[in-house]
Amino acid sequence: MGNLSKLVVLNIRNNNISGTIPPSFADLATVTVFNIRRNSVHGQIPPWLGNLTALKDLNMGGNMMSGDVPPALSKLIKLQFLSLALNNLQGLIPPILFNMSSLELLNFGSNQLSGSLPQDIGSILPNLKRLNLFYNKMEGQIPASLSNTSSLEFINLHGNKFWGRIPSNIGQNGCLTAFEVGNNELQATESRDWDFLSSLANCSNLFVVDLQLNNLSGILPNSIGNLSQKLETLQVGGNQISGHIPSDIGKLSNLRKLFLFRNRYHGEIPLSLGNMSQLNKLILSDNNLEGSIPATFGNLTELISLDLSFNLLSGKIPEEVISISSLAVFLNLSNNLLDGPISPHVGQLANLAIIDFSCNKLSGAIPNTLGTCAELQFLHLQGNILHGKIPKELMALRGLEELDLSNNNLSGPVPEFLESFQLLKNLNLSFNHLSGPVPYKGIFSNPSAVSLTSNGMLCGGPVFFHFPACPYPAHDKLARHKLLHILVFTVVGAFILLCVSIATRCYIKKSRGGARQGQTNIPELFQRMSYAELLLWKIWLAVEASAVYIKGLLVLVQI
């Protein structure tokens, strides 16, 4: 290919090409596009690439390249797009690369590169539109000069070690569509440290703000509600933010993802969150939120995931929430103070994969309607005060992988249908009041997958459970089947004997009635019987005895 002296575009992306970059490519002096992304090319980036000075687009992302980024790439003075993302590159990003003033895209994401951004990056890269350095080992402060790049649209620094305050003027150019700085060590302690939100409010096309997993503290200001109406993702979870969730956040009516988990919010959940009719993921877990779950959540008809776990929420689970039929991934209300029964409307969650209501104060019976949640994979109801039997309707949940009903007041037998659940990996029914025989097959044959401890009236089952033997055969399914077989044969035989005896009695009555009319002396009758007649009377007595035996068997089977 090195002989193609007039080649302008080399685009071999999205293939299964392996090996290293051939040295003959160094002769492609006229190439302007060099795109080998999403292959399996390995080895180091050859420094001679810096000699292909006609290059405008160099994309080597999504390969297996290793080693350092060669400083020689800085000689590509016409380069506009540079992507080395999704490789195994390491070491410092050569500072000289930031002098490539023609760059519009700089994408080094998902490598192991280190170093810091020059504080004057906004001046030396005036044409920069997209800056992607996510998941590296970069550190230092986010340069305030980034706001000087009049065309900057996309900043993704997620997953590094940037520290300090977020520049207050970061969005003053008004062009940002994405600002992703989550999973760093950024700080906010005073109210002025949140001024960057007012700056981002200038960006009318902003659709992603990612601030999660930092060291941001203080109170989230009401100005959060002034962000773009096009905003779809707001991630502020995993910080140290306190105070109330601002009610103005409900103004972001087109938001699809709202993550506020693992902070220090307290007070009630704002009713205004119910105005976000486009939400599909709402995560408010691990806070100190109080009061009841807003019934306005019933307006969130696009919701697929709701997590309110590990808070101090109380009261009943609103029927409006438990009836959100769009829920398809998880509904997690665990570790709160919720009480009352589980509404039968839970059966409307036909597409839901995970239900976790554990560690609350829920009471009443497990709703039979749970059996209509056919897509359930994980059902956690442990740590409540539920009572009654485990509903037989749960036998329809063939996709269950985990079932935890432990630490309740459940009674009745261990359901035999659980033997046939082939996908079930963990079953915990411990600390209840279950009784009767323990099944042998399926998951019950795996001691590490089942917990039945502290159920004082269980018997039988595999020996590793150490339950006592069941006191009578009826508790042994095999013995019960044998008993039923005996019963069937006995009944059939008795029926035949009964027919014979009836015919015999009719015959005796007819024959004796005609020959000895008027004689009713019983001893005399037997004195004059033939041997055949006496045999028929013995058969009749045997039938009577069989009837008594059958009655005894029926009583035994019913025990």
Location of structure tokens 């090409």: 17
Question: Is 65 within the bounds of a domain?
Answer: yes
How many other C-beta atoms are found inside a 10 Å radius of the C-beta of residue 448? 8
Question: Is 118 within the bounds of a domain?
Answer: no
What is the 3-class SS of 314-381, one letter each residue?
EECCCHHHHCCCCCCCEEECCCCEEEEECCHHHHHCCCCCEEECCCCEEEEECCHHHHHCCCCCEEEC
pLDDT of 5:
76
pLDDT of 527:
44
pLDDT of 557:
37
**What is the Cβ-side half-sphere exposure of residue 76, based on CA atoms within 13 angstroms?**
27
Which residue, among 31, 39, 89, 95, has the nearest Cα to 57 in the 3D structure? 31
Question: Is 35 within the bounds of a domain?
Answer: yes
Structurally, how many domains does the chain consist of?
A: 2
d(CA 506, CA 512): 10
How many separate helices (H) and strands (E) can be counted in the chain? Answer: 6, 38
Domain that holds residue 9: 1-113
| Residue 466 CB burial class (10 angstroms; 0-12, 13-18, ≥19) | exposed
Q: What is the pLDDT of residues 402-426, one digit of tens each?
A: 999 999 999 999 999 999 999 999 9
Which residue, among 416, 320, 306, has the nearest Cα to 355 in the 3D structure? 306
- Report the CATH number at residue 439: 3.80.10.10
Q: Which residue stretches of the chain have pLDDT < 50?
A: 474-476, 478-479, 483-484, 514-532, 534-541, 543-559
Cα–Cα–Cα angle for 509, 514, 516, rounded to 5 degrees: 90
Question: Is 348 within the bounds of a domain?
Answer: yes
Residue where one domain finishes, among candidates 82, 113, 144: 113
d(CA 182, CA 291): 30
Question: Is 120 within the bounds of a domain?
Answer: no
Non-local CB neighbours of 411 within 8 Å, separated by 6+ positions: 387, 388, 389, 432, 433, 434, 435
- For 82, 170, 172, 519, the CA distances from 150, given in Å and listed in that order, are 19, 11, 9, 130
Question: Is 403 within the bounds of a domain?
Answer: yes
Residue where one domain finishes, among candidates 75, 98, 113: 113
Question: Is 519 within the bounds of a domain?
Answer: no
For residue 471 the two structure tokens come to: 């006191």
Question: Is 245 within the bounds of a domain?
Answer: no
162: part of which helix (H) or strand (E)?
Answer: strand 161-165
DSSP 67: E
**CA torsion 187→191→197→199, rounded to 10°?**
-110
- For 263, 479, 543, the CA distances from 285, given in Å and listed in that order, are 9, 51, 73
SS3 helix, strand, coil % of the chain, rounded to 5?
30, 25, 45
What pTM was estimated for this model as a whole? 0.83
Non-local CB neighbours of 11 within 8 Å, separated by 6+ positions: 33, 35
pLDDT of 471:
86
Residue where one domain finishes, among candidates 425, 442, 471: 471
What is the 3-class SS of 226-248, one letter each residue?
HCCCCCCEEECCCCEEEECCCHH
pLDDT of 154:
98
DSSP 64: E
